[in-house]
Structure 1
Amino acid sequence: MKKKRIAIAMGGYSNEYEISIKSGNLVYEYLDKEKYEPYKVHILENEWFVAHQDQKYPIQKQDFSFVLDGKKINFDLVFNIIHGTPGEDGLLAAYLETVKLKQTSCDFYQSALTFNKRDCISVLKPYGIKTAENYFLNLGDEINEEEIIAKVGLPCFVKANKAGSSFGISKVYQKDELKKAIDFSFKEDDEVIIESFLDGTEVSVGVIEYKGEIKALPVTEIISENEFFDYKAKYLGESQEITPATISTEMTEKVQAIAVKIFKTLKLKGWSRSEFIFHQNEPHFLEINTIPGMSEASILPQQAKAAGISLKELFENTIEAALR
């Protein structure tokens, strides 16, 4: 049987570039080379190319192909592992749809929606999904500190609306810290979301399409050594990630059911990782990642392992679901 040619799209245009490269290399390492013919495809702002045997081969953007030894190579599927733009925000998905090429992540609308924290929360609220109190700002808006604090209280979180890996986030305790935190978030994005502080246990729930069914993975409890689950906590080991979480069976099943409901409600594909805080014993939704980190230490691979699913099986399952 002819091997399927898989383009592992990695890199991107955001601060998450290096994280994506690590994720892409891991996918390449674990793909079954007897079944697939994988290629590392770097998607950068100034060039798109296939990295093959220490050489760079430009991607032909009219059909996402490349030329190797005088022969045109077309792909059967794109394994999208780009965190941030253009992989997670829908831009790559929209392009691939125009060239009629299948890919592993969500369709372009779902990707754009989930990447936009404010819009995603607004869509989910009518479905009964609990969230923090929030306040929205666009670059150039008047900043009314009294109004913000009256809505969300103190302490609060100030976040760049369209950014991942906890870039552009601050925890604010005093009114005089608010303007500086907002300016910091505007360095990452032209939209800001300000959220009330929710006191409680933070958890992360992976959801995957597995053997034809939508399945919630074991829940991970997150205990950050810092003020919140920031970049250092996520990637530099300054946190404890306990899988399965030490919460009760009832709490586990409740948050898993909500994560699956979100996946189905938003009509997602492939996989997702949703973040929640149990505030007053109720799971409150924070955000969702549709292309979560894929290092061996990342949360979703941890959860898959706890469910008895190897990385090889996880990646193969994702490819076969997309090909179908």
Structure 2
Amino acid sequence: MKKNIAIIMGGYSSEYKISLKSGNVVYDYLDKDKFNLYRIHIFKEKWVYIDDNENETPMDRNNFSIPVSGKSIVFDCVFNAIHGTPGEDGLMQAYFKLLGIPQTSCGFYQAALTFNKRDLLSVLKPYGIKSAPSFYLNKGDEINEDEIIERVKLPCFVKANKSGSSYGITKVYQKEELRTAIETAYKEDDEIIIEAFLEGTEVSVGVLKLHGETTVLPITEIVSENDFFDYEAKYEGKSQEITPARINNEQLENVTAISKKMYDILKMKGFSRSEFIFIGNEPYLLEMNTTPGLTTESILPQQAKVAGIELGMLFENAIIEALS
């Protein structure tokens, strides 16, 4: 009997358009002979099932079911394709945990932790995971430019602490630019992380459970045409994404080992994609994403393709792992 699979997409953040693309790719590539697939849009104002004619049917949030043709459709598994809140910060994970519905991403604690850049770096530091010198600000804190620059030097990056897709991030070269960059970051979040600029090769590392084993995919080198890997570079073709990365054997061994170690330490499930900068042969962690982009152009699907894993199998494996 075919399993009922809900593919959730959308979300409450600036990333909702990217999430809709990811969710529709999952819908297009999963085998409809094996699964009954339902596209579910999750927005603040509505949770709705979208049929093939783009008609909307409201979800029953009490048990995450939908009325279709006089029947109540319940789900065997949820495929999570929401980038940002509430799909990547633990809220949906906790909701499905309470309902007892398996879902393809990590647990609610891991999602909340990895979505918070400051907390993630703090938790991993005792395990020897290196990161850039940083300075933290919360909205309302006094801004002392001299103290910030003394800690992180210039240039530096000002980032929203809980945001993805490079929303709310600015590279700052001069002291006079710092306050404007902070205000830009506060538009996305009330917490900020200001990090030292690290000069080196940037790579992206995808990790997943494959046949029950923690598996590191071929690594991608990021070469941005812009000043850094910003929104344009990620989504508007202003970068080269080279898989496998042009790194030496020691760099490859180090970043592979660290990525697997992070995944296992955090007791992750589902997909993760982490960004690193190499200083010499040592990888410095920038962030970890637990609901990475899943479009045909996205980095993790590119990595899977190089590993010989077609998109349909990549998505089906996520469901199999969740159900197991």
TM-score by length of structure 2 reads: 0.99
Q: Which amino acid aligns with 1:228?
A: F
- The 5 A counterparts of 1:27-106 are 27-54=26-53, 55-106=55-106
* Alignment match, 2:21: 22
Deviation at residue 97 of structure 1 after TM alignment: 1.1
* Alignment match, 2:281: 281
Q: Which amino acid aligns with 1:161?
A: N
Question: Within the alignment, does 1:241 sit opposite 2:241 as a pair?
Answer: yes
* Alignment match, 2:120: 120
Deviation at residue 291 of structure 1 after TM alignment: 0.3
Deviation at residue 123 of structure 1 after TM alignment: 0.4
The gaps in structure 2 that reach 5 residues or longer are: none
Partners of 2:265 and 2:282 lie apart in 1 by 20
Partners of 2:52 and 2:271 lie apart in 1 by 30
Deviation at residue 317 of structure 1 after TM alignment: 0.6
Deviation at residue 144 of structure 1 after TM alignment: 0.8
* Alignment match, 2:313: 313
* Alignment match, 1:139: 139
Paired residue secondary structure (1:273): strand
Identity level (%): 62
The RMSD of aligned alpha carbons is 0.6
* Alignment match, 2:4: 5
Partners of 1:53 and 1:173 lie apart in 2 by 49
* Alignment match, 1:267: 267
TM-score by length of structure 1 reads: 0.99
The gaps in structure 1 that reach 5 residues or longer are: none
Partners of 2:277 and 2:102 lie apart in 1 by 35
Q: In the TM superposition, what whole-angstrom CA distance separates every residue of 1:200-228 from its partner, at most 9, and x where no partner exists?
A: 00000000100110000001000000110
- The 5 A counterparts of 1:78-227 are 78-227=78-227
Q: Which amino acid aligns with 2:223?
A: I
Deviation at residue 171 of structure 1 after TM alignment: 0.3
Q: In the TM superposition, what whole-angstrom CA distance separates every residue of 1:82-137 from its partner, at most 9, and x where no partner exists?
A: 00000000001111111111100111110000000000000000110000000000
Runs of 4+ in 1 over 4 A off after TM superposition: none
Partners of 2:138 and 2:268 lie apart in 1 by 27
Deviation at residue 157 of structure 1 after TM alignment: 0.3
Partners of 1:275 and 1:110 lie apart in 2 by 17
Paired residue secondary structure (1:21): helix
Q: Which amino acid aligns with 1:248?
A: N
Question: Within the alignment, does 1:290 sit opposite 2:290 as a pair?
Answer: yes
Partners of 2:147 and 2:250 lie apart in 1 by 38
